[in-house]
Chain A
Amino acid sequence: MLEKLQNSRNALGIVFMMPAAVLLLLFLTYPLGLGAWLGFTDAKIGRGGEWVGLDNYIFLWNDSVMRLALFNTLFYTTVASVLKFFLGLWLALLLNRNLRFKSFFRAVILLPYIVPTALSAIAFWWLYDAQFSVISWVLTRMGLIHGYIDFLGDPWNARFSVIAANVWRGVPFVAITLLAGLQTISPSFYEASAIDGATPWQQFRHVTLPLLTPIIAVVMTFSVLFTFTDFQLIYVITRGGPLNATHLMATLSFQRAIPGGALGEGAAISIAMVPFLLAAILVSYFGLQRRAWQQGGNDA
């Protein structure tokens, strides 16, 4: 009797999993393997590839644009993630206060995250316009600058401009998620520490931060993953320019593979992102493990 139930459960489980599994195997797992294979071939659009071993990777390693893209991606990810973390945490702490219209704030703040990135990126493109940027207009009126800023024409200006757009889009996500984490912290911790004479900074450092660490780790893993593989913002605002100064690995891979036609090379670039992504996941995973162990394993 029990065995029959067990059997039917297994059979039923497989039946229930079937639709999702078939679709994911066909359009996710198989392409993932295919991508790894393509990276070792000289496939072009409209022509299947021959196995060329590590040729793509060797070529890319010596390719100055690829090296620049790798640098840009690391720079973009690091600066944007750090900014998103601090600004997001700050915003979360502000929203966690006893505020009027709390749910209104919460709802409105998520808008940059909801609206299609490609469309808000167009707004940023216009905000960064070399001749008509309203940012330049305000700054000149305030007497802070004399000529209009060439936001997207200069390599470093362009890098910081796209980072600003990325931070703008990402802060709401970090803030709302951390806010949810903050709200699970029991007020009694704060009351107890206040009675013991803890300063606000000490409370933040020894109560808020440790209790928030697990959720910070999760949010920041997601944030790093999405920033590292970002495509839309760059594609819309700069297309990798000026002089490849804002090319990320994702945009370079697109450019080489689709308009450029070199599928094998493009696939190799995207496969080259995988080790970094795995590293990001492992860091946060083991970071969490260590924490769980420190707290006697109760904090999963």
Chain B
Amino acid sequence: MSAVSPAASETVGMSYLETRRRKLAVVYLPLACFLFVLLFPFYWMGATSIKPNGELLSREGNPFWVHSPTLDHFRKLLFETAYTDWLWNTVIVSVVATVISLAFAVFAAYAIERLRFRGSRQVGMSIFLAYLVPPSILFIPLATVVFNLGLFDTRLALILTYPTFLIPFCTWLLMGYFRSIPYELEECALIDGATRWQILTKIILPLSVPGLISAGIFAFTLSWNEFIYALTFVSSSEVKTVPVGVVTELVEGDVYHWGSLMAGALLGSLPVAFVYSFFVEHYVSGMTGSIKE
């Protein structure tokens, strides 16, 4: 075994044969660099949000360390701005849009994947194409639709428009999931006289809980991230979402309150990071599964 060729040591299954030092140089060192670059902005957000202004705007001393941490920026953010309103709006909009999209997507995916009605292939294809329509092409005409429906500057405008990107995504993800459930289960139930509704609620849905969870967190994070619709369809501060509120309301004027800005960015990121951390495995498998379709 010690005479193994360098070629073999490169392969996945046999990489434990590599020498320690070599592995350190070609694997762990680059990996550490990646990790540092990918995570540093978060550290910097956190550090900035607890730095007093004096430290923040000084080029002296070590900027990587916070000498006298303060929660002043958070206090300002929570009590002197509409930040809590934005948080609440984002929660409402994300949760409601996710629930609606998930419900609609379950029916759509079941119909396309299992009922195989006439034209279901074409419908499935157009759902996929709908996913590829970018919001930055859609927002101008959608703004006029929202305005004509009298929904401008309401949460409902966001709740109804977010499903345009959530439904295609969830449907696509769930189609893949439903496909993995053996068809025989359904056939047996049909023979026993079950209705489609019973099959869907008593067989398919319980079996696809992991798929529903990953579709749900995806939809939730996508809604939480959404920016251009929320920027365009809403204008009053009390209806804004966190990303838009922080960007448009906290950076007015010439003096930037970096501490509060970073505190706002950090607080606004926590809910998604939190949800994500609980369901990482679902998220990762959902992401990789949906792309392989």
Interface residues of A (CB under 8 A from B): 9-10, 12-14, 16-17, 19-21, 23-24, 26-28, 30-32, 34-35, 38, 43, 87, 90-91, 94-99, 103, 105-112, 114-120, 122-124, 126-127, 129, 132, 134, 137, 168, 171-173, 176-177, 179-181, 187, 190-191, 194, 197-200, 203, 215, 218-219, 222, 225-226, 229-232, 235-236, 250, 253-254, 257-258, 263, 266-267, 270-271, 273-274, 277, 281
Residue in A190, A200, A257 whose CB lies within 8 Å of B6: A200
Question: Cβ of B261 and Cβ of A116 under 8 Å apart?
Answer: no
- The minimal Cβ–Cβ distance linking B258 to chain A, given in whole angstroms, is 6
Evaluate contact between B41 and A127: CB separation under 8 angstroms: yes
Check A168–B160 contact: CB distance below 8 A. Answer: no
Q: Tell me whether B1 is interfacial, beta carbon within 8 Å.
A: no
Cβ A263 vs Cβ B145 within 8 A? no
Distance A267 CA – B144 CA, assembled complex (angstroms): 11
Of listed A34, A91, A110, A116, residue having the most chain B CB within 10 A = A116
For the complex, what is the distance from the CA of A122 to the CA of B42, rounded to whole Å?
11
Contact B141 A118 (CB under 8 A): no
**B108 close to A109 (CB less than 8 A):** no
B105 touches A118 (CB 8 A): no
B292 cross-chain contacts in A, Cβ below 8 A = 180-181, 215, 218
Q: Residue of A at shortest CB range from B13?
A: A187
Residue in A19, A122, A199, A257 whose beta carbon sits within 8 Å of that of B140 in the complex: A257
On chain B, the residues within 8 Å of A19 by CB distance are 103-104, 107-108
Residues of A within 8 A of B225 (CB): 116-118
- A114 contacts B272, CB within 8 Å? yes
Asked whether any CB of chain A lies closer than 8 Å to the CB of B177, the reply is no
CB of B143 within 8 A of CB of A258, answer yes
B69 contacts A by Cβ under 8 Å: no
Note all chain B residues with C-beta closer than 8 A to A31: 138, 141-142, 144-145
Would B141 and A35 count as touching, CB distance under 8 A?
yes
CA distance in complex: A137, B55 (Å): 14
A166 to chain B minimum Cβ distance, whole angstroms, is 13
Task: Convert B206-233 into 0s and 1s, putting 1 for each residue whose CB lies closer than 8 angstroms to a CB of A.
Answer: 0000000000000001001101100110
7 examples of A-B residue contacts, CB within 8 angstroms = A35-B138, A108-B39, A116-B224, A119-B242, A203-B11, A232-B243, A281-B132
- Beta-carbon contact of A176 and B136 below 8 Å: no
Find the B residue at minimum CB distance from A34.
B141
Task: Report how far A273 CA is from B143 CA in the complex, Å.
Answer: 18
Residue of A nearest to B281 (CB): A103
Say whether A115 contacts B12, CB under 8 Å: no
Is B11 a contact of A253 with CB atoms below 8 Å?
Answer: no
Taking CB as reference atom, which chain B residue is nearest A165?
Answer: B41
Q: Contact: B136 with A250, CB < 8 Å?
A: yes
Q: Chain A residues with Cβ under 8 A from B284's Cβ?
A: 106-107, 110, 176, 180
